[in-house]
């Protein structure tokens, strides 16, 4: 018999030890603590050690999620890793993580690239696979080592991003109406060049010159992305609420993608939901792309911000330009 619901059994997160403050950054690029704080809400971000890989951060977050779920690596048969910064272009980071975590060899392992919306895409994918009855327990990890693809000379991007990881364990449940109750995913593929890595892919392989020009680092048209982010996240939130016949004020906590405090404040205004109902940690981590929502989700749970029966809304936006929302009943 198919499980009636797919539920989150445990959460975990990890952030590298090294804290990079705005004041420190202002010593290397032409910026200031004041500019970064007022334009983005970011005070500091975490930076992975040079020998600390995406897979290492993922493993730390996954171990904490497994511990929280009171499960062993041997219980997992599906691993979905949302990332745009895998250890290697090939093979998938998921395979490296599987090996480091000691997951069984009959675990389905793959990476998923939906940038900052990656975790919401991964959650939907894993829940569909577990909900089909073909997989028992899944690990969904959002992880990024963005510091490795940041142009540290470009003040318009380097002040905004950071490294980290978050993970959840998914399982089936016979209790109806609990767990992931819906998702709304989409993309505006006409916005590819608003946030992308120009070189290093098959269309434009890296050359000595492109590397010297740091074209293997990401570029962003911040203003355009900002406007689209607010519009798409507002729409994704409204659509999913409408689909499920819910009002915004029935949501106990919104866990938005942590890109910019001003984006979160704009969504709070559009949804007419006070900022107290939004979980915010962008001040401490900056934008960690696919890691942002699961890292915030884990912190929110551990801080006691989520109680049984609560309705949580996840809402994300990122390169692609992808967007997604998800409703979870705890
Ligand atoms: O993860 C998903 C995608 N990412 C996002 O959601 C990010 C979306 N965008 C943003 O968060 C904001 O657009 C930014 C934080 C990137 C920029 O804020 P803004 O209010 O849109 O500033 P702006 O780009 O219009 O720049 C204003 C000024 C410019 O100077 P001029 O042209 O007015 O003289 C910039 O050159 O600020 C300048 N500027 C800086 N000044 C000091 C840009 N970056 C910096 C900096 N420090 N780091």
Query: Residue ranges per domain, the chain?
Result: 5-176, 180-329
User: Does 223 sit in the ligand 1 pocket, CB within 6 Å?
Assistant: yes
Residue 89 alpha carbon to ligand 1 centre in Å: 30
pLDDT at 175 over 90: no
Q: Active site residue: 95, 127, 158, 257, which one?
A: 257
> Active-site residue 257, yes or no?
yes
What is the pLDDT, as a whole number, of residue 32?
97
Residue nearest to atom 41 of ligand 1 (CA): 31
pLDDT grade, residue 1 (50/70/90)? low
Reported as a single tens digit per residue, the pLDDT across 127-136 is: 999 999 999 9
Instruction: Report whether pLDDT(2) > 70.
Output: no
pLDDT reported for residue 221: 97
Q: Which atom of ligand 1 is nearest to the CA of 287?
A: 1
pTM metric for this prediction: 0.97
Question: How far is the C-alpha of 296 from the C-alpha of 259, rounded, in Å?
Answer: 12
Q: Which CATH superfamily is domain 180-329 in?
A: Thiolase/Chalcone synthase (3.40.47.10)
Distance CA 73, CA 172 (A): 17
Task: Report the distance separating Cα 216 and Cα 292, nearest Å.
Answer: 22
Tokens representing residue 82 in the block: 């949302």
Average pLDDT, the chain: 97
Nearest residue (by CA) to ligand 1, atom 4, is 259
Alpha helices, DSSP H, located in the chain: 22-25, 33-40, 54-69, 93-101, 118-131, 155-158, 208-212, 222-243, 261-270, 282-285, 292-302
pLDDT category at 177 given cuts 50, 70, 90 is: confident
- Candidate of 156, 158, 159, 162 to mutate for ligand 1, largest count of ligand atoms within 8 Å of Cβ: 156
Same CATH fold, 180-329 and 5-176?
Answer: yes
pLDDT at position 296 over 80:
yes
234 C-beta neighbours (distance < 10 Å), count: 18
| DSSP assigned state of 228 | H
pLDDT in tens, 89-128: 999 999 999 999 999 999 999 999 999 999 999 999 999 9
CATH classification of 5-176, choosing from 3.50.50.60, 3.40.1010.10, 3.90.45.10, 3.40.47.10?
3.40.47.10
pLDDT at 196: 97
Q: How far apart are CA 171 and CA 174, in angstroms?
A: 10
């Amino acid at each position: 018999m198919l499980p009636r619901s797919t539920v989150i059994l445990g959460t975990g997160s990890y952030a590298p030890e090294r804290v990079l403050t705005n004041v420190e950054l202002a010593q290397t690029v032409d910026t200031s603590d004041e500019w970064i704080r007022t334009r983005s809400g970011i005070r500091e971000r975490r930076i992975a050690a040079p020998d600390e890989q995406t897979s290492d951060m993922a493993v730390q977050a996954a171990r904490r999620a497994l511990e929280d779920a009171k499960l062993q690596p041997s219980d997992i048969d599906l691993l979905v890793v949302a990332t745009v910064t895998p250890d290697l272009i090939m093979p998938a980071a998921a395979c490296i993580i599987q090996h480091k975590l000691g997951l069984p060899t009959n675990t389905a392992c793959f990476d998923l690239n939906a940038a900052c919306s990656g975790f919401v895409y991964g959650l939907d994918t894993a829940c569909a696979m577990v909900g089909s009855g073909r997989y028992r327990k899944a690990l969904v990890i959002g992880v990024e080592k963005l510091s490795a693809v940041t142009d540290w000379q470009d003040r318009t991007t380097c002040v905004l991003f950071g490294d980290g990881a978050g993970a959840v364990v998914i399982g089936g449940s016979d209790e109806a109406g609990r767990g992931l109750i819906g998702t709304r995913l989409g993309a505006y593929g006409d916005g590819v060049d608003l946030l992308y890595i120009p070189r290093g892919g098959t269309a434009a392989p890296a050359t000595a010159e492109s590397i010297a020009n740091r074209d293997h680092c990401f570029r962003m048209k911040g203003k355009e992305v900002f406007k689209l982010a607010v519009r798409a996240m507002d729409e994704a939130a409204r659509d999913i609420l409408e689909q499920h016949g819910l009002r915004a004020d029935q949501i106990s906590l919104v866990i938005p993608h942590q890109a910019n405090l001003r984006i979160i404040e704009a969504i709070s205004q559009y949804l007419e939901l006070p900022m107290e109902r939004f979980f915010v940690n962008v001040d401490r981590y900056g934008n960690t792309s696919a890691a942002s929502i699961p890292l915030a989700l884990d912190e929110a749970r551990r801080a006691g911000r989520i109680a049984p029966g609560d309705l949580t809304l996840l809402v994300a936006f990122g390169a692609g330009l992808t967007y997604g929302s998800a409703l979870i009943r705890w």
